[in-house]
Amino acid sequence: MSDIRLPLADEAARLGYRAAWLLVLAFAMALSAWVVPATNYAVPLAAAAATLAAVALCVLVIGGPASMRRRRRAEVLRDLFGNDRRPAYVTDSAGRLVWSNDAGDLDRLLASDLADPSEVVADLRARALAEGSAERRLARTPPRRLTVQQVVGGDLLWRLDDAPAAETEASPVDFEALPLPLIEIDRDGMIVSANLRARGVLKIGEGERVGLHEIVDGLGRSVPKWVFDAFAGLGLARPEVVRASRRTEDMFIQIVLDRAPGSGSNRLMAVMHDATHLKTLEAQMVQSQKMQAIGQLAGGVAHDFNNLLTAIRGHCDLLLLRRDASDPDFADLEQINQNANRAASLVGQLLAFSRKQNLKLESVALRDLLSDLTHLLDRLVGARVTLALNHAPDLPLVRADRRQLEQVIMNLVVNARDAMPNGGRIDISTRSVHLERPLTRDRATVPIGDYVEVSVVDEGTGIPPDVRKKIFEPFFTTKKTGEGTGLGLSTAYGIVKQIGGYIFVDSREGQGTTFTLLFPADAVPLLPVPEAPRPEQAAKDADGAVILLVEDEAPVRAFATRALRLRGYEVIEAEDGESALEIVSDDSVSIDLFVSDVIMPGMDGPTWVRHARERRPDVPVVFMSGYAEESFSGTQALIARSAFIQKPFSLSDLTTIVARQFEMENEPSADG
């Protein structure tokens, strides 16, 4: 405050005093020159006296009018504010104090409210000079404010008074009624005050003394450490997401901590926003990426296993062709074949979870499907479990693969049966559902529209919350070793998702579980596509027709070659697409059919076939893959006269589809 601390004497009086002293000094020097006998000093003294007298007259003539104006301005200020009990001060534009009343010491008053008064005064002076006036509320009870405004002559009038009553009374009401949840926190992390919105969000009572760490859970670090860092000036105004621990439902809150206004460094203000939707979307994305990664892994494993199973089943078929039932090895070979088929079914479940299996979509009446399944389901649940079906009338059709949908229902019923070791009741019900607004639950959003709901309810032991989060993950099971693969529910999940449906689970320990399926209603019924008639024989001979077989897996290629040659075909082998194109480019080689794997190193099946069709446009093709046909159906649709067989296939499956393609030999090509 040194820039405004000057003597408070009136400027005009100080000017008069200076001129008077100069005249007195001049008179004294003149008198000395007259009294002292004539010496060498008499003339200089007389000259100095005359000079001082002239300076005194100049001070009075030049500074007199300005001094009188300042005197009159001081008298006006004194008349206005001299008897005011509120402190008032006047400074010039440079910040020098030129007048004040007797209500108080500005230094002392401001120092009691402000850590750095000179900085505040400088800021207010700059704002007043630029804008005409400025003010600052001071942390005091009752609240006070320091105002400054320009007056005539460019001076600044400073006043220290109480804040207006309306402003003082409105502050607590405004805090309580603000639309954002707000709380104040002290250095111990205790909640000092919370407005109405904050109390509703955090589930705390009015005036309840509670620590922030007791009502929210930190998601990345402890709440006390976060508050400590904020008071230390680290991470202020940086949002942090926490969970409200007193609420029964999951609620996430984004909190921003900053200094509380007027509290110095002793309190923090926390501004809160509901971040539940944001965290839900984040969790959905994480879960989606997790399931996608698991699905890709499962699909890749299934693809490789299908190649192995194709070789195992194929060579087993070749051995069985050379033996009859009386052969001592026949039973062993049959056992190998049956276990290979079981393994193929297991791989099919992996493909179902990864949504890379073949689907034959048609319009399905769930009422009829469940009625047809009743006998099989009764056998599955056993005598101690009662199975009840309840159907709503006029149920819309759904578009699905009937066989896969049956598998979903069976998986859910078997899961319900296993949850009731002492018996009980399983209810399967269906009804129509119309959603007028999107349904969001279990990290999924069901769009507006018409749906058919299927619910499977049991009276079992229920599913704990920590287990419920994992039940759709492949290979996760709570059953004993050897009693389950952990693929039942993950398979159901994959099938439901692949046909565009949704699956939810509700459960309470000791009170049973409900699985709810939602399938979009089929507005336009889809007729089932009839299967092409199978030849009466496994395959017919093609009088030495030439087949170019392209397969990168040597065991599969060896089996397929032997199987086709057994049916009278001539087979040319290639291990990749590049080798196949070299053979195709040789015009001396006759080729009647391409049989190709889809996924191969280098050039894949559809790519090399399109190149080959440029030279041989009329050659039909059979694609084979460990993945489902849908995984490349868009590409296959661009290749005319193509068929698909999924691995693992048997000798009969392969020769049958090859024979079917030769039956189409006389049909014109669409891409030639």
What are the residues facing 611 on neighbouring strands? Answer: none
User: pLDDT category, 525, cuts 50, 70, 90?
Assistant: low
Q: Domain end: 244, 274, 304, which one? A: 274
User: Do residues 583 and 512 share a domain?
Assistant: no
User: pLDDT category, 142, cuts 50, 70, 90?
Assistant: low
- Please report the pLDDT score of residue 1 as a whole number: 38
Instruction: Give, as one character, the DSSP assignment of residue 387.
Output: E
Read off φ and ψ for residue 260, nearest 5 degrees.
-75, 135
Q: Tell me, yes or no, whether 396 lies in a domain.
A: yes
For 283-438, where are the E strands, in sequence order?
361-364, 385-391, 398-401, 424-435
Read off φ and ψ for residue 218, nearest 5 degrees.
-70, 140
Rounded to the nearest angstrom, the gap between the alpha carbon of residue 505 and the centroid of all alpha carbons in its chain is: 23
539-558: average pLDDT: 81
Are 261 and 138 contacting, i.e. CB atoms less than 8 angstroms apart?
Answer: no
Instruction: Give, as one character, the DSSP assignment of residue 374.
Output: H
Distance CA(15)–CA(9), nearest Å, equals 11
User: Do residues 18 and 134 share a domain?
Assistant: yes
Q: How many domains does the chain have?
A: 5
User: Do residues 247 and 308 share a domain?
Assistant: no
- Please report the pLDDT score of residue 136 as a whole number: 75
H-helix or E-strand containing 623?
Answer: strand 621-625
Report helix angle 651-663 to 276-321, nearest 10: 90
User: Do residues 123 and 6 share a domain?
Assistant: yes
Please determine, for residue 462, whether its predicted confidence score (pLDDT) is greater than 70: yes
Q: Tell me, yes or no, whether 371 lies in a domain.
A: yes
CATH number at residue 612: 3.40.50.2300
Instruction: Tell me which residue has tokens 């976060």.
Output: 226
- Please report the pLDDT score of residue 510 as a whole number: 85
Helices then strands, counting H and E runs in the chain, come out as 19, 25
Please determine, for residue 537, whether its predicted confidence score (pLDDT) is greater than 70: no
Whether the ω angle into residue 142 lies within 30 degrees of 0, i.e. cis, is yes
Q: Which of 97, 96, 11 is nearest to 59 (CA)?
A: 11
Please determine, for residue 9, whether its predicted confidence score (pLDDT) is greater than 50: no
User: Do residues 369 and 484 share a domain?
Assistant: yes
What are the residues facing 458 on neighbouring strands? Answer: 426
Please determine, for residue 339, whether its predicted confidence score (pLDDT) is greater than 50: yes
Edge to edge, the sheet with strand 449-458 lists: 385-391, 424-435, 449-458, 512-520, 502-508
Are 607 and 597 contacting, i.e. CB atoms less than 8 angstroms apart?
Answer: no
Distance CA(13)–CA(16), nearest Å, equals 5
Decide: residue 631, CB within 10 A, 0-12 exposed, 13-18 middle, 19+ buried: buried
Distance CA(89)–CA(99), nearest Å, equals 6
User: Do residues 116 and 77 share a domain?
Assistant: yes
User: pLDDT category, 59, cuts 50, 70, 90?
Assistant: low
Rounded to the nearest angstrom, the gap between the alpha carbon of residue 361 and the centroid of all alpha carbons in its chain is: 34
Rounded to the nearest angstrom, the gap between the alpha carbon of residue 512 and the centroid of all alpha carbons in its chain is: 32
Q: Tell me, yes or no, whether 669 lies in a domain.
A: no
Decide: residue 331, CB within 10 A, 0-12 exposed, 13-18 middle, 19+ buried: exposed
Residue with the bigger pLDDT between 449 and 306: it is 449
Residue with the bigger pLDDT between 423 and 22: it is 423
- Please report the pLDDT score of residue 489 as a whole number: 80
Most confident of 127-141, 234-248, 451-465: 451-465
Distance CA(440)–CA(272), nearest Å, equals 23
| 3-class secondary-structure state, position 130 | helix
CATH number at residue 321: 1.10.287.130
Which range has the worst mean pLDDT, 314-318, 498-502, 555-559, 636-640? 636-640
The letter for the amino acid at 359 is: L
- Please report the pLDDT score of residue 358 as a whole number: 57
- Please report the pLDDT score of residue 42 as a whole number: 61
- Please report the pLDDT score of residue 262 as a whole number: 66
CATH number at residue 181: 3.30.450.20
- Please report the pLDDT score of residue 536 as a whole number: 41
- Please report the pLDDT score of residue 261 as a whole number: 75
| 3-class secondary-structure state, position 446 | strand
- The alpha carbon torsion through 350, 352, 353, 354 (nearest 10 deg) reads 90
Distance CA(147)–CA(471), nearest Å, equals 68
Q: Tell me, yes or no, whether 216 lies in a domain.
A: yes
Distance CA(446)–CA(224), nearest Å, equals 39
- The alpha carbon torsion through 199, 202, 208, 213 (nearest 10 deg) reads -150
- Please report the pLDDT score of residue 87 as a whole number: 74
Read off φ and ψ for residue 599, nearest 5 degrees.
-95, 115
Please determine, for residue 564, whether its predicted confidence score (pLDDT) is greater than 90: yes
Distance CA(267)–CA(269), nearest Å, equals 7
260-284: average pLDDT: 79
Distance CA(493)–CA(490), nearest Å, equals 5
Which range has the worst mean pLDDT, 191-195, 477-481, 526-530, 626-630? 526-530
Q: What is the pLDDT of residues 592-630, one digit of tens each?
A: 999 999 988 889 899 999 999 999 998 999 999 887 665
56-72: average pLDDT: 59
Domain extent, residue 121, equals: 2-138
214-224: average pLDDT: 83
Please determine, for residue 162, whether its predicted confidence score (pLDDT) is greater than 80: no
Which range has the worst mean pLDDT, 264-273, 351-360, 395-404, 510-519? 351-360
Which range has the worst mean pLDDT, 106-115, 116-125, 368-377? 106-115
- Please report the pLDDT score of residue 476 as a whole number: 63
User: What's the chain's average pLDDT?
Assistant: 77
Alpha-carbon Rg for the chain in angstroms: 47
* CB < 8 Å & 24+ apart, contacts of 63-71: 63/15, 64/15, 67/11, 67/12, 67/15, 67/16, 68/12, 70/10, 70/11, 70/12, 70/98, 71/10, 71/11, 71/12, 71/13
Residue with the bigger pLDDT between 528 and 291: it is 291
Most confident of 249-253, 298-302, 512-516: 512-516
- Please report the pLDDT score of residue 487 as a whole number: 59
Q: Tell me, yes or no, whether 552 lies in a domain.
A: yes
- Please report the pLDDT score of residue 279 as a whole number: 79
Report helix angle 330-353 to 488-498, nearest 10: 60
User: Do residues 254 and 302 share a domain?
Assistant: no
- Please report the pLDDT score of residue 577 as a whole number: 92
Q: Which residues contact 63 (CB under 8 A, 6 or more apart)?
A: 15
464-474: average pLDDT: 78
User: Do residues 417 and 493 share a domain?
Assistant: yes
As a whole number of Å, the end-to-end CA separation of the chain is: 96
Distance CA(162)–CA(159), nearest Å, equals 10
663-672: average pLDDT: 55
Work out the percent of the chain whose per-residue pLDDT is above 70.
Answer: 67
Report helix angle 554-566 to 651-663, nearest 10: 60
CA distances from 434 to 446, 519, 524, 621 (A): 11, 11, 17, 46
Distance CA(231)–CA(566), nearest Å, equals 84
User: Do residues 236 and 348 share a domain?
Assistant: no
Read off φ and ψ for residue 144, nearest 5 degrees.
-125, 165
Please determine, for residue 457, whether its predicted confidence score (pLDDT) is greater than 60: yes
Residue with the bigger pLDDT between 344 and 106: it is 344
Q: Domain end: 353, 388, 405, which one? A: 353
Please spell the DSSP secondary structure of 472-501, one letter per residue: TSTT---SPTTS--S-HHHHHHHHHHHTT-
User: pLDDT category, 450, cuts 50, 70, 90?
Assistant: very high
Task: State the pTM of this model.
Answer: 0.46
CATH number at residue 423: 3.30.565.10
User: Do residues 326 and 340 share a domain?
Assistant: yes
- A 10 A CB-CB count for 320 gives 18
Residue with the bigger pLDDT between 3 and 516: it is 516
User: Do residues 252 and 324 share a domain?
Assistant: no
- Please report the pLDDT score of residue 147 as a whole number: 82
Please determine, for residue 152, whether its predicted confidence score (pLDDT) is greater than 80: no
- Please report the pLDDT score of residue 672 as a whole number: 42
User: Do residues 99 and 225 share a domain?
Assistant: no
Q: Tell me, yes or no, whether 181 lies in a domain.
A: yes
Which range has the worst mean pLDDT, 118-127, 241-250, 577-586? 118-127
- Please report the pLDDT score of residue 610 as a whole number: 92
485-510: average pLDDT: 82
Q: Tell me, yes or no, whether 535 lies in a domain.
A: no
Distance CA(306)–CA(547), nearest Å, equals 23
- Please report the pLDDT score of residue 535 as a whole number: 42
Q: Tell me, yes or no, whether 532 lies in a domain.
A: no
Q: Domain end: 322, 353, 384, which one? A: 353
> Which pairing describes strands 512-520 and 546-550: parallel, antiparallel, or unpaired?
unpaired
- Please report the pLDDT score of residue 671 as a whole number: 46
